[in-house]
Amino acid sequence: MSVQAARRHFKVAEYYRMAAAGIFSEDDRVELIEGEVLEMSPIGIRHAACVNRLNALFNQRAGQTAIVAVQNPIHLDDYSEPQPDLSLLKPRGDFYAQHHPNPDEILLIVEVADTSVAYDRDIKIPLYARAGIPQVWLVHLPDESVEVYAQPSAGAYRQLRHLRRGESLQAAGVPALVLQVDELLG
């Protein structure tokens, strides 16, 4: 006989009240996914270097056409506020000082995966699809590849491309941002 424990799902506002009450410290690496507070994987050296590289590339090439956010929260709905490695956001004069970006303000999400491939692929990417994020890149460091998810529909991405070294990709909504897979992987 299996036992099913009751779970309490938290809303984003409750999550922030818990943080303000000191339940989480500044150093805790957590994010709210579908009402559950989940611990994020530690950031390894290769992962950090890749995020730094992408940040530099995106800022150089996107120019004024997008805001590059690094490991900042995005507000998908009342129960989910993940922290993708990078987000390309529609430009706003206040740089999102009033609220975290909503799905309709997000052009591209990039998740860099070294040890978190299954979590990113099975948990976060479907969450982004349900929110209608137009494009997600999963930089798969162990496999030295990039998975490009596009065309969200009915809670899933209809298009998936696997790219390897020697191939190029373009960010949705940012025509100037064309990159080689080699540039992303280093």
pLDDT classification of 1: cutoffs 50, 70, 90:
low
pLDDT classification of 26: cutoffs 50, 70, 90:
confident
Q: Does 18 reside within a domain?
A: no
* Mean pLDDT lowest among 9-18, 72-81, 95-104, 125-134: 9-18
The total domain count for the chain is: 1
Q: Does 139 reside within a domain?
A: yes
**Residue 80's pLDDT is what?**
94
Q: Does 25 reside within a domain?
A: no
| DSSP state letter for 38 | E
Beta strands 86-89 and 178-180, pairing class: unpaired
Token pair 């309709």 is found at 104
**Residue 41's pLDDT is what?**
85
Q: Does 27 reside within a domain?
A: no
State yes or no: pLDDT of 126 exceeds 80.
yes
Q: Does 2 reside within a domain?
A: no
Q: Does 84 reside within a domain?
A: yes
Q: Does 53 reside within a domain?
A: yes
CATH of the domain at 123: 3.90.1570.10
* Mean pLDDT lowest among 11-20, 101-110, 129-138, 152-161: 11-20
Between 3 and 36, whose confidence is greater?
Answer: 36
Structure tokens at 153: 């529909």
Share of the chain above pLDDT 90, in %: 74
Residue 27 CB partners (closer than 8 Å, separation 6+): none
Q: Does 23 reside within a domain?
A: no
Q: Return d(Cα 57, Cα 93) in angstroms, integer.
A: 22
Range of the domain at 96: 42-185
